[in-house]
Amino acid sequence: MAKLQVMVGLGTERLLKVSAWPIDTLHDQPGGPVTGILMPRILGHKQIHMLYSPKTRLSEFPQATWPFLIRTAANLARAFDVVHRAGLVVGDVNHGNVGVSDQATVKFYDCDSFQVIAGGQQFLCEVGISTHTPPELQGKSFRGLVRTANHDLFGMAVLIFQLLFMGRHPFAGVHLAPGDSTIEQAIAEFRFAYGPGAAARKMRPPPATLPLEAVSQPVAELFERAFGRQGATRGRPNPQEWIVALGELEQELRQCSRGHHHVRTLAACPWCAIEGQIGRALFAITISPSAGTAAILDIASLWAQIAAVPAPGPAPPLPRPSDYAMSPDSGLVLRGRRLKRARYYKAVGLVGIGTVLTLGLLDGLVAFLALVALLVGVWQYVKQATSPLRREVGEEAGRVQMAMDEIERRWRTEAGEGSFHELRQKLEAVRNQLDALPNERQRKVRKLQGELRERQLRRYLDRFRIEDASIKGIGHSRKATLQSWGIETAADIDLARVLQVPGIGPALADRLVDWRQKLESRFVFDPSRGLDPADLGKVDSEIAQKRTRLEKELSRGLQQLHILRQRILDRRAYLYREAERVAREAAQIEANLKAL
């Protein structure tokens, strides 16, 4: 009772905003012993695990998105900041003494367990939950233990992690070393199961979980600091650091086509991938039939406009060098004549000198043969006079041929009408999908009708949370581990699936299955209830979302078709001009070579 009196004296407006803080004591008579306390009644708040657990979130916080969870995490840090600035320590940090409203505000319950040191009096918190207890306190008795704000910061980081990572515990993962490991052992050994250093810590995250890289780098670094060895010795991230980093994270989000929020730097939406793995939604995202459009489009009218876009037609043949009659280049011909004339004069001199020498030195047949050889050599000498020019023109011919080959390649890929018809066929397939949406909805509804009993059973079993159950051998730590593997309710229990969870052997798995079977035996199928409105709503949402996407694709397609047609015609005109220029160059080269 002395503690309650001290707490009343410490009460402030800020504490009352974040907690059910006692505001007065009750007495049978003035000055008499304390018989009770007066505290604010907290309305509209639910325990935080009902928000971060995907299944209960869908029912208890149906409008909650990932930004809502991030905002709640920031408000949780603000609440811890208020408590610590008042010189208090929460001590028993856990998911049961924190409440969240549908406005993402946070309040502490059970404040009488807080550690209070004031006026020379010391009231310790001698209780705690192991899954939220820091490594330096694991295995220690809380009796007589003075806690610090840094101890609280570990439990706060665990709750923030669970908010952002769908209830997964940061130390519940696959133990890569031989033997099993509990969450408590992993905490004591600083074996955070996420991030780039997880493998070195002999840990791996559970399947179908958000990777640490999916949050912003500053937030990821805060988790590493909070759960690493330095946090125990040099201090863990304080609430203000979390408030700033989480606020920045919320500003860095964008939405995917299915409505999920994720960090804009990611190439793909991680939530879509996870939902594909687990086969169910993590967020209650709904798309109205007219979402993203002013009204449902008139598909027949739009398709008539698409069909009316004229095709560019087949590409005409390119011009060829043979289409052009070119005269030899006069300058080049003149240069060739000069070279031939110069060699001719030299050849005449060589023949004269050679003839005199041959007749003077040789006789008869030998002299005749020598003169023939001389004349042949001189003729070859004169003939090669234009070789440098022919070689120069030949190199130019090679360059022009390469240019012509490149134009022909681009003509085939850019000037044809194949891409136009491919786009039109794609748009026709989109129109067919739109036309088929009513039938698709009917198929989905028939499938739901065929699964009516199974779905009623699943909803019935989903009402029984493992967290609230009393199952021999399944304590708080194992419950947290099961939740980290996505096993939250009786509906999630399957023998093969449960046996994959670390620390759950055949005996415990059988107990979980027995618990489910006992619950299932009480289930009574009611065919008169018909389809659940939530299931129908999900089908209609999926159909509406698909219609919106297809309508946008068809609307864009009309514009794309016009643009593509004009682009093809523009490329044809440009490439045809280039082909004309190159063909003329090639014809000129052929004329020059003949002249040389």
**263: β partners:** 253
Active site annotation includes 92: yes
pLDDT bucket at 294, cuts 50 / 70 / 90: very low
Q: Compute how many other C-beta atoms are within 10 angstroms of the C-beta atom of residue 426.
A: 13
Structure tokens at 580: 């004309």
pLDDT at 533: 87
CB 227 within 8 A of CB 190: yes
CB 457 within 8 A of CB 525: yes
CB 524 within 8 A of CB 486: no
H-assigned helices in 384-417? 387-414
- For residues 84, 86, 91, 97, the Cα torsion angle rounded to the nearest 10 degrees is -100
- Is 180 a residue whose pLDDT tops 60? yes
Instruction: Report the distance separating Cα 165 and Cα 8, nearest Å.
Output: 37
Instruction: Report the distance separating Cα 262 and Cα 450, nearest Å.
Output: 35
Domains within the chain, CATH numbers bracketed: 46-110+125-253 (1.10.510.10), 321-416+572-595 (no CATH), 452-531 (1.10.150)
When mean pLDDT is compared across 124-128, 181-185, 497-501, 528-532, the lowest value belongs to: 528-532
Tell me what the mean pLDDT of segment 547-565 comes to: 92
CB 374 within 8 A of CB 361: no
Instruction: Report the distance separating Cα 558 and Cα 560, nearest Å.
Output: 5
When mean pLDDT is compared across 158-162, 194-198, 508-512, 544-548, the lowest value belongs to: 544-548
pLDDT at 387: 66
pLDDT at 124: 95
- Is 126 a residue whose pLDDT tops 80? yes
In 3D space, the residue among 440, 464, 463, 460 whose CA is nearest the CA of residue 529 turns out to be 460
When mean pLDDT is compared across 294-303, 466-475, 523-532, the lowest value belongs to: 294-303
In 3D space, the residue among 184, 169, 94 whose CA is nearest the CA of residue 139 turns out to be 184
Instruction: Report the distance separating Cα 429 and Cα 423, nearest Å.
Output: 10
pLDDT at 376: 67
pLDDT bucket at 293, cuts 50 / 70 / 90: very low
Q: What is the residue-averaged pLDDT of the chain? A: 89
Instruction: Decide: helix, strand or coil at residue 254.
Output: strand
Q: How many CA atoms lie within 13 A of 74 on its CB side?
A: 18
Residue type, 333: V
Instruction: Decide: helix, strand or coil at residue 225.
Output: helix
Instruction: Report the distance separating Cα 38 and Cα 21, nearest Å.
Output: 9
- Is 16 a residue whose pLDDT tops 90? yes
Can you say how many angstroms the Cα of residue 240 is from the centroid of all Cα atoms in its chain? Answer: 28
Report the Cα–Cα distance between both ends of the chain, in Å, rounded. 118
Instruction: Report the distance separating Cα 126 and Cα 116, nearest Å.
Output: 12
Catalytic residue chosen out of the listed positions 81, 92, 152, 535: 92
Q: How many percent of the chain have pLDDT more than 70? A: 89
- Is 514 a residue whose pLDDT tops 60? yes
CB 168 within 8 A of CB 161: yes
CB 273 within 8 A of CB 213: no
Q: Compute how many other C-beta atoms are within 10 angstroms of the C-beta atom of residue 311.
A: 12
Question: Helix 299-307 and helix 418-450: axis angle, to 10°?
Answer: 160
The single residue listed with the structure tokens 């590493």 is: 224
When mean pLDDT is compared across 67-81, 345-359, 486-500, the lowest value belongs to: 345-359
Instruction: Report the distance separating Cα 78 and Cα 242, nearest Å.
Output: 9
pLDDT at 484: 93
pLDDT digits (tens, 9 = 90+) for 54-76: 999 998 999 999 999 999 999 99
Query: Which residues lie closer than 8 Å to 126 by C-beta, 6 or more apart?
Result: 142, 143, 144, 145
pLDDT bucket at 325, cuts 50 / 70 / 90: confident
- Is 369 a residue whose pLDDT tops 80? no
Q: Compute how many other C-beta atoms are within 10 angstroms of the C-beta atom of residue 530.
A: 11
The single residue listed with the structure tokens 């739109």 is: 434
**47: β partners:** 99
325 or 209, which is more confident: 209
- Is 320 a residue whose pLDDT tops 80? yes
Structure tokens at 476: 């708080």
Tell me what the mean pLDDT of segment 162-186 comes to: 93
Tell me what the mean pLDDT of segment 447-452 comes to: 93
**175: β partners:** 203
pLDDT digits (tens, 9 = 90+) for 233-288: 999 999 999 999 999 999 999 999 888 999 999 999 999 999 989 988 899 865 44
CB 370 within 8 A of CB 362: yes
Tell me what the mean pLDDT of segment 493-508 comes to: 93
pLDDT digits (tens, 9 = 90+) for 376-408: 666 666 556 456 767 777 788 888 889 899 999
pLDDT at 347: 63
Structure tokens at 434: 């739109």
pLDDT bucket at 295, cuts 50 / 70 / 90: very low
